[in-house]
Amino acid sequence: MGCTASVPSNEEDDPFLQDKHINDQIEQSLRMTKGNDRNEFKLFLLGTGESGKSTVLKQMKLLHKGGFTSQERVQYAQVIWCDLIQSMKILLVQSSRLGIALDSDTEGSPLAPFKQAVLNANALQLVNMGAAGSSDYLSDYVIKYGERNRAKSRLNETGAPDNAFLKEGSNEQDSTETVVNEELMEIYPMSEQKQIYTRHEVAEAVSKLWSLDSGIKKCFEKSHEFQLESSASYYFDNCMKFADPNYKCSDLDILKGRIKTSGITETDFMVNLFKFKILDAGGQRSERKKWIHCFENITAIMFVLAVSEYDQTLFEDERVNRMHESIVLFNALCNSKWFINTPFILFLNKIDIFEQKIARSPLKKYFPDYDGKPNDVEDALKFFETNFLKLNKTNKPIYVHRTCATDTKSMKFVLSAVTDLIVQRNLKNSGIL
């Protein structure tokens, strides 16, 4: 199979040889670039929404740009704060929809006041009550909860997923009303005077519901049936630290936090004196029509596939399985005339979630032609890897890596292998190696 993560040899451990290697590369690069800009490698991160593209980019920043600024750390803390309240509200809505009884709903339950605190919490208001970050910045991201495509009312607009690539999106960004809050109001109409809770009280309420309400846990286990942030459990486990309005995120918090990408961002990195430009794009359907403007002069595509999402449906269209959408997208990109000779690097991402999920959510239920051992991580991964590689009708290579994009240690290794590979391939193609 195409998994080509390089293993350090004894030679590569020798600092002298490493220096020599770098010197050789500089000289080769100078020879290569006389009069042109061929030493800039342009990598495009592509894949469906929430697959992990921006997280891969964040890891590149940690590796090659000295990490995150203090401002980013404060801003992410506020975004996660809003996300953790909204995620708990989503669990409250969905438990009612799925008919899961909550302990906090039973008469006289000591958990009832905690549920009330979450129902009353207004994340933005709480940010304004003392956060160091600007709420203008935040409101852009909180609005994303209003962007939820009301799948049922839009079923007729989106059509079958067979031409998902570059097709017009379903304009899921038109609506800005906060759907979750509306739904909560329907389930729990609040006649009594709204009590104002502090950030600390709200965080405590989330923490208590998460750790003590068995209905919330049951509902979370069914979260593949609805839309919940990938990192919701991380937010809940750590919610007390986000109660501090001046908390600055750790690297891991930022990797776990999610800000939906809109448009295409370009970030430059210097890696061993080679210039890499990484393009990161929004992955949802409405974003894909922007991609084509950047398809020229791409050195390699990094396609990010969330393997854990085989039992989930799209945020933008709840009729469509996320893995099916990725298959359609990969097929279209891989065989597109733009990328006939462009190497692909396929990240089988969210492997950590996949490993946990495969034990309780049978793959065969979603992919009936899977005939590997049930609940077997290796068989299941091979199944997807083989099926994706089979889609390639061109002669270009596809390099596969199994990744957990939030894990800095393993990503350091994978990303070094990827940048090495790109440099080596290009030196070879130029006849230098």
The CA distance from 19 to 11, in Å, is 11
Catalytic residue among 25, 227, 284, 406: 284
C-alpha atoms less than 13 angstroms from C-alpha of 105 in its C-beta half-sphere:
13
148: annotated binding-site residue?
A: no
Residue 286 touches Mg ion, criterion: CB under 5 A: no
Nearest to 353 by CA among 215, 227, 216, 231: 231
Nearest to 121 by CA among 168, 68, 57, 190: 190
Active site residue 105: no
Among 29, 43, 44, 52, the residue binding ligand GDP under the rule CB under 6 A is: 52
Q: Are 411 and 251 contacting, i.e. CB atoms less than 8 angstroms apart?
A: no
The CA distance from 224 to 361, in Å, is 9
The CA distance from 387 to 225, in Å, is 24
Site for ligand GDP in 278-307 (CB under 6 A): 283, 304
CA–CA–CA angle 359, 360, 366 (5° rounding): 100
Among 46, 50, 59, 249, the residue binding ligand GDP under the rule CB under 6 A is: 50
Q: How many helices and strands in the chain, by DSSP H and E? A: 20, 6
431: annotated binding-site residue?
A: no
Active site residue 50: yes
Residue 262 or 272 with smaller CB distance to ligand GDP: 262
Among 25, 231, 261, 321, the residue binding Mg ion under the rule CB under 5 A is: 261
CB of 404 to ligand GDP, least distance (A): 4
Q: Are 19 and 369 contacting, i.e. CB atoms less than 8 angstroms apart?
A: no
Active site residue 55: yes
Residue 54 touches Mg ion, criterion: CB under 5 A: yes
385 exposed, middle or buried (CB, 10 Å; 0-12, 13-18, 19+)? buried
Catalytic residue among 229, 280, 316, 317: 280
50: annotated binding-site residue?
A: yes
Maximal C-alpha separation, the chain? 78
Nearest to 51 by CA among 409, 323, 339: 323
Q: Which partner in Mg ion, ligand GDP, none is near 349 (CB below 5 to 8 A by kind)?
A: ligand GDP
What's the one-letter identity of residue 215? G
CA–CA–CA angle 417, 421, 424 (5° rounding): 140
Q: For the window 210-249, what string marks contact with ligand GDP as x by the rule CB under 6 A?
A: -------------------xxx------------------
Active site residue 158: no
51: annotated binding-site residue?
A: yes
Residue 169 touches ligand GDP, criterion: CB under 6 A: no
User: Interacting stretch for Mg ion, rule CB under 5 A, among 46-54, 315-323, 352-360, 366-374?
Assistant: 46-54
Residue 87 touches Mg ion, criterion: CB under 5 A: no
CB of 260 to Mg ion, least distance (A): 6
Q: Are 77 and 242 contacting, i.e. CB atoms less than 8 angstroms apart?
A: yes
User: Given the rule CB under 6 A, which residues bind ligand GDP?
Assistant: 47, 49-55, 229-231, 255-256, 258, 261, 283, 304, 349-350, 352-353, 404-406
Active-site annotation, residues: 50, 55, 258, 280, 284
Binding site feature residues for Mg(2+): 54, 261
